[in-house]
Amino acid sequence: MAADATTPGERGERAARRPVSALIRVRDRVLITGLEAVRGLVSSLPRERAVALGATLGRAYARAHGPRSATARINLAIGYPEASTKEREALLVETYANFGRMVAETALLHRTTREELLEIASIEGFEHLEQARKTSPSGGVIVLTAHFGSFELFAAIMAARGVPLSIVHRTANNPHLDDMISGWRRAGGIELIRRGVAARAVLRSLRAGRCVAMPLDQSTRVEEGVFVPFFGRPACTRDGPARLAMRLGVPVVPAFMFREGESARHRIRVSSPLALAAEGADRTATDAAVVENVRRMSAAIEAAVREAPTQWIWSHRRWKVQPSGLAKPYPGKGDRPLRRLRKRLGLRRK
């Protein structure tokens, strides 16, 4: 049998496109129909009212212990072990309030003009990105970011400012949802690069002088990353961005968007490029430099989250991959009631 030349990420993308049951297809269609209805409702409201409605629905979701909120509670206990249960619950509720605001703002993107995008957010440190592009061998820059704040709006605003932006993103399981989100992004002039088949496309984009936004705040397979501390616990983190930066000599510029209070206004902060360790004289030294650079990149994300903890998406299982011998903080697959129910009903993808 011939060896499979695809990467683990590519095999994951292929698996996501495998045939699914009729029940799953119906579920996916129902979900997207509901989302379209919500988008229609939100689109009929002024921006401030739409954002306030999103916050109200987000808080209600958290208090009702909606799906994935249990994961968020576990993560908050990891991130803030010194806080009381009541304090962490307050953080959780406001995290979902901000997520609701972000959803509302994303739903409004299709009607938001370039002028409006430029008006609703100020940008601090934009000169860091401009200078980084000038010093880059190709003009390309890796924009280090995260699923933080209103991240869909962040990309649209940067593109509106004239930044030639590409985004590395994960394909959504629901193809209708993936098409909807991808359509919003492309409408803003953003190039999409699908994770799993991204390496060559990212290389092309960087060599063409584009800015490639890479969220580096989600877990990955052991063979695709390295373990670095995140909130004091080892987190498997993709090493691809660090290796690319070292190989091409392109700057890594952290950039995050912070919401101003509970309003619909934002502040984008662009920092100076990270100081990265250089490649070593041999593979061992280079691998050590990669780990150190991933640590520095992850530390920049943690600093932003600690500054505004309710603006990060805590519901992702960030610590689901752990070093050998260290227990995972999440229940096993068989221990999750919702997963068992979906499996019995034929509503879970293989």
Q: Which letter, b or e, does each residue of 148-177 get, where b requires 16 or more Cβ atoms within 10 Å of its Cβ?
A: bbbbbbbbbbbbbbebbbbbbbbbeebbbe
Q: How far apart are CA 15 and CA 30, in angstroms?
A: 22
The pLDDT tens digits for 38-49 are: 777 777 899 999
Q: How many CB atoms lie within 10 A of CB 63?
A: 13
pLDDT along the chain (350 residues), means of 10: 37 47 64 67 87 94 94 98 98 96 88 92 97 97 97 91 87 61 64 75 93 95 96 97 95 98 97 96 96 98 98 97 95 62 51
Answer for the pair 320, 230: CB distance below 8 angstroms, yes or no.
Answer: no
Give the pLDDT score at 106. 86
pTM for this model (two decimals): 0.85
Give the pLDDT score at 2. 35
Structure tokens at 57: 């629905």
Give the pLDDT score at 12. 43
Give the pLDDT score at 348. 52
Give the pLDDT score at 100. 92
- SS3 per-residue string spanning 139-205: CCEEEEECCECCHHHHHHHHHHCCCCEEEEECCCCCHHHHHHHHHHHHHCCCEEEECCCCHHHHHHH
Answer for the pair 270, 126: CB distance below 8 angstroms, yes or no.
Answer: yes
